[in-house]
Chain A
């Protein structure tokens, strides 16, 4: 199959972001003082488990980012014509999911449609019944009797396959670790199980097992069932949920990419130069932040909508139009949200510029630009990092709300927000169509929860304030564990403990 690669705007930015992350990671790896806090992140069990889930989401998101236009088969020979439909690598992999479209709603694992239809029988006469699905459970002769066993068998087979891969991965991990530490294979295995390794591999392995078993079961089932049902136009909800991941990730990450230049440049210069520069920048961010966020976003999105309606010639495909709207949303979110970080950076720079080493740099005649880039910027990076990871989950949640308000992504973009929005209209239906909502909310929950846990681990490692706080609680807990009688009466021992 021939195809033509397409790079949409957000794709290009995502590639840029990936390249930046890889470069940054390489740089951090080379410098021990930068690597040390990341090692602390690696010691947090919940953080590493969350990272495992996040990596899984990111892989799906990246697969969904590589876009292409497949060639349309034409008999006339000549030059190949490319379809106007823009597909992603993920779409190609999930072709069965994408193309097995039913007529309308069907419940998860159902063999029949959700609505009654009039069916003409070949022998004459008609009845109103639930027609069989075209693809869901189509291989079964008698779904009522066979459905449960078939599902169980397939799920077990898929889960088993997942478990098999998990065993392979764990075995190779143990081999690697055993080779490195010089321990025997089995003793290494039990070390991992006890969680005695520096990086809590046991948490990672448990999470991985969960993901792989679920994935295996889902993969074997989704070929012949709609495991999360279908939506109003008969599209598979599982496919939609997986597609939504990219939208969420793009909004969560690109927004940060958009806001960083503003926040860094303005925040640091305001704190460093002070005087009128500081006044102007302070005025700018006070003004921007005094407009309630949602309203500013709504106003800006409304205006881009008008702009896009009146300039239709700018977009050649539906996908590029939807993509541009996604990009605009990221830009708008970025422009409206840099003020918080800017304020933090200004405060930190104000503190830093009075430090001796900056004074010394001044005395040596180091230029302003060099002081800013070599001495101040590296020392505020922890704030940037913490804010970035903390904001991510909020942005994913905000997307759903904004789509509900009507100022989110393009209606043709599959996202958690559009899924919820479409499903919400069916709330009043009896019996209720619940699977779209549940699918969107649970995928969103998994993504946001893992992002939150990872953000906590990062904050614990980088933020000196939180670090001391959690160290204190940990010390208290250790002390508790050492004094078993303490558990029975926390109040009494508490008062005797120095904090």
Chain B
């Protein structure tokens, strides 16, 4: 088990290097640092000195991959690729264009992001499972039929609509909670209610339907027939047998997203004005702050890989048949 985890962690390193290579190609090879400088400083009437200064401030005034001017090993290390990528692995993300330390920003913005993402995740999981169970309990009746219809309809609505409609109805028309903003500690709760509810609703269609399929698949297995043959009531079969077995794919499927919860949600956060990582990323995209976007890409992939490892571990925890070798 421990061996396996260590191997997985080691296996993550080449993947992260690959991620770095991809982002590096995207950010520095497709467009040279000169192009980026010209873009940021305005296309026309840029003096070469201004470009050189811009590059020097950000540490882009070096060769991309190979520094032929240097001696020995520094030929490889004194380059943009090495400096920017190696720093990522040590969580030194450098400074954003407004001069703030990116690592500090990420640390302080994680909490508001989690404050939305975690309740949405937990509440959502509970609500979707309950709805899916209801539909499966009444399967092949009108409850089930209209439930599926509702799910497909919910799936077909843009997530932007849920946010805009929710803000309009609850905040603007009924004045129940503030439209957007964020407060300290307990004060934050009233700002979080609406985004959490909307987050749960916007995922309802697809997830409920998916869970229903999982439950139905489980219902067709032999042990369910055996349980019915024993004379167990349908509710006991459903809650005692089917639910427990269907929880394996549901839980392991959910584990992979847990680390990604730290990243928050891009759209909800910027609509509701919550100072989390999602809105940080959007602001960076809009102001074309390449350093921040690069840092977020790295962080995102790191968390995703952590999620994959956690998924493997959780398999062994919930399903004793699986052993990691």
Chain A residue nearest in CB terms to B286: A406
- Given known contacts A292-B300, A480-B141, A498-B225, is B23 in contact with A299 (CB within 8 Å)? yes
The stretch of B150-158, B189-197, B243-251 in contact with A is: B150-158
The stretch of A29-37, A103-111, A223-231, A445-453 in contact with B is: A445-453
In the bound complex, CA of A288 to CA of B300 (Å): 12
Which of A432, A441, A456, A480 touches B158 (beta carbons < 8 Å)? A441
Q: Determine if B158 and A405 form an interchain contact, defined as CB atoms under 8 angstroms apart.
A: no
Which of A298, A304, A400 touches B281 (beta carbons < 8 Å)? A298
- The smallest beta-carbon distance between A493 and chain B, in angstroms, is 9
The stretch of B56-64, B105-113, B227-235, B311-319 in contact with A is: B227-235
Residues of B within 8 A of A289 (CB): 304
In the bound complex, CA of A309 to CA of B44 (Å): 11
In the complex, chain B residues 210-224 whose Cβ is within 8 Å of any chain A Cβ:
213, 216-217, 219-220, 224
Q: Please, what's the 1-or-0 string for A294-325, where 1 marks a CB less than 8 Å from any CB in chain B?
A: 11101110111111011000000000000000
For chain A, the bracket of interface size reads: 35 or more
Q: Determine if A309 and B167 form an interchain contact, defined as CB atoms under 8 angstroms apart.
A: no
- Given known contacts A298-B293, A309-B39, A310-B39, is B15 in contact with A404 (CB within 8 Å)? no
**B51 interface hit (Cβ, 8 Å):** no
Residues of A within 8 A of B172 (CB): 432
Which of A292, A427, A449, A495 touches B260 (beta carbons < 8 Å)? A292
Which of A441, A452, A473, A480 touches B216 (beta carbons < 8 Å)? A473
Residues of B within 8 A of A441 (CB): 157-158, 160-161
Which of B26, B35, B164, B301 touches A292 (beta carbons < 8 Å)? B301
Q: Determine if A292 and B263 form an interchain contact, defined as CB atoms under 8 angstroms apart.
A: yes
**B140 interface hit (Cβ, 8 Å):** yes
Q: Determine if A287 and B22 form an interchain contact, defined as CB atoms under 8 angstroms apart.
A: yes
Residues of A within 8 A of B164 (CB): 420, 424, 427, 437
**A386 interface hit (Cβ, 8 Å):** no
Q: Determine if A307 and B35 form an interchain contact, defined as CB atoms under 8 angstroms apart.
A: yes
Residues of A within 8 A of B4 (CB): none
**B139 interface hit (Cβ, 8 Å):** yes
Which of B35, B152, B282 touches A310 (beta carbons < 8 Å)? B35
Q: Determine if A491 and B235 form an interchain contact, defined as CB atoms under 8 angstroms apart.
A: yes
Most buried by B among A289, A292, A437, A474: A292
Which of B19, B156, B293 touches A302 (beta carbons < 8 Å)? B293
Residues of B within 8 A of A453 (CB): 152
Q: Determine if A476 and B14 form an interchain contact, defined as CB atoms under 8 angstroms apart.
A: no
**B305 interface hit (Cβ, 8 Å):** yes
Q: Please, what's the 1-or-0 string for A439-482, where 1 marks a CB less than 8 Å from any CB in chain B?
A: 00100110011001100100000000110110011101100100
Q: Determine if B294 and A299 form an interchain contact, defined as CB atoms under 8 angstroms apart.
A: yes
Residues of B within 8 A of A445 (CB): 156-158
In the bound complex, CA of A307 to CA of B305 (Å): 31
Residues of A within 8 A of B161 (CB): 441
**B1 interface hit (Cβ, 8 Å):** no
In the bound complex, CA of A422 to CA of B22 (Å): 33
Residues of B within 8 A of A494 (CB): 234
**B43 interface hit (Cβ, 8 Å):** yes
Q: Determine if A310 and B38 form an interchain contact, defined as CB atoms under 8 angstroms apart.
A: yes
**B80 interface hit (Cβ, 8 Å):** no
- Given known contacts A290-B19, A424-B164, A499-B225, is B285 in contact with A405 (CB within 8 Å)? yes
Residues of B within 8 A of A130 (CB): none
Chain B residue nearest in CB terms to A446: B156
In the bound complex, CA of A291 to CA of B18 (Å): 10
In the bound complex, CA of A480 to CA of B145 (Å): 14
In the bound complex, CA of A465 to CA of B23 (Å): 38
Q: Determine if B19 and A295 form an interchain contact, defined as CB atoms under 8 angstroms apart.
A: no
Chain A residue nearest in CB terms to B217: A469
In the complex, chain B residues 1-52 whose Cβ is within 8 Å of any chain A Cβ:
14-15, 18-19, 22-23, 26-27, 30-31, 35-36, 38-39, 43
Chain A residues near B (Cβ < 8 Å): 283-284, 286-292, 294-296, 298-300, 302-307, 309-310, 393, 397, 400-401, 404-407, 416, 420, 424, 427, 432, 437, 441, 444-445, 448-449, 452-453, 456, 465-466, 468-469, 472-474, 476-477, 480, 487, 490-491, 494-495, 498-499
Can you name 16 A-B pairs with beta carbons within 8 Å? Answer: A290-B15, A291-B23, A292-B300, A302-B285, A302-B293, A303-B31, A305-B288, A306-B35, A306-B39, A307-B35, A401-B267, A420-B160, A427-B168, A445-B157, A449-B156, A456-B152
